[in-house]
Amino acid sequence: MLRLAIALSLVLPALCQTAPTSFVLVGDSTTANGTTPNSGGWGNGFCGSTVTSTPSSLAPGTPCINTAHNGATTGSFVADGFWDISLAAIRGEVAKGRRTLVTIQFGHNDMKIAPPESMGQNLTMMVQQIRALKAEPVLVTSLTRRDFNNDGTINDSLGPWADQTILISQQQNTHLLDLHAASITYVEAIGPDPAHRLNRTPDDNTHLNNNGTIVFGRMVADLMNASFPNQLPIIANPALTFNITHGIPSF
Ligand SMILES: *[C@@H]1O[C@H](CO)[C@@H](O)[C@H](O)[C@H]1NC(C)=O
Ligand SMILES: *[C@@H]1O[C@H](CO)[C@@H](O)[C@H](O)[C@H]1NC(C)=O
Ligand SMILES: *[C@@H]1O[C@H](CO)[C@@H](O)[C@H](O)[C@H]1NC(C)=O
Ligand SMILES: *[C@@H]1O[C@H](CO)[C@@H](O)[C@H](O)[C@H]1NC(C)=O
Ligand SMILES: *[C@@H]1O[C@H](CO)[C@@H](O)[C@H](O)[C@H]1NC(C)=O
Ligand SMILES: *[C@@H]1O[C@H](CO)[C@@H](O)[C@H](O)[C@H]1NC(C)=O
Give CA–CA dist 173/190, Å, rounded: 33
Ligand 4 centroid–CA 164 distance in Å is 28
Ligand 2 centroid–CA 220 distance in Å is 26
Average pLDDT over every residue of 103-115:
98
Average pLDDT over every residue of 117-131:
98
CA distances (Å), 2 to each of 7, 9, 12, 60, in order?
A: 9, 10, 15, 21
3-class DSSP assignment, residue 134: coil
Given this model, what pLDDT does residue 17 score? 46
Given this model, what pLDDT does residue 246 score? 98
What's the CATH number for 20-245?
3.40.50.1110
**Is 60 exceeded by the pLDDT of residue 16?**
no
| φ, ψ dihedrals at 85, nearest 5° | -65, -40
> Which of 46, 49, 52, 93 gets mutated to test ligand 1 (max ligand atoms within 8 A of its CB)?
49
List the domain boundaries for the chain: 20-245
| φ, ψ dihedrals at 116, nearest 5° | -55, -35
Q: CA torsion sign, 20 to 93 to 172 to 223?
A: positive
Give CA–CA dist 83/126, Å, rounded: 9
Specify the DSSP class assigned to residue 22: E
**Is 90 exceeded by the pLDDT of residue 76?**
yes
Closest by CA position to 34, among listed 76, 70, 64? 70
**Is 80 exceeded by the pLDDT of residue 231?**
yes
CA distances (Å), 131 to each of 14, 41, 91, 100, in order?
A: 25, 25, 11, 10
CB 248 within 8 A of CB 239: no
Q: Please tell me if the CB atom of residue 73 comes closer than 6 angstroms to any atom of ligand 2.
A: yes
Ligand 2 centroid–CA 75 distance in Å is 4
Given this model, what pLDDT does residue 19 score? 67
Q: Secondary structure of 80-127 in the HEC alphabet? A: CCHHHHHHHHHHHHHHCCCEEEEEEECCCCHHHCCCHHHHHHHHHHHH
Q: Which amino acid is at 117?
A: E
**Is 80 exceeded by the pLDDT of residue 15?**
no
> Which of 9, 12, 219, 230 gets mutated to test ligand 4 (max ligand atoms within 8 A of its CB)?
230
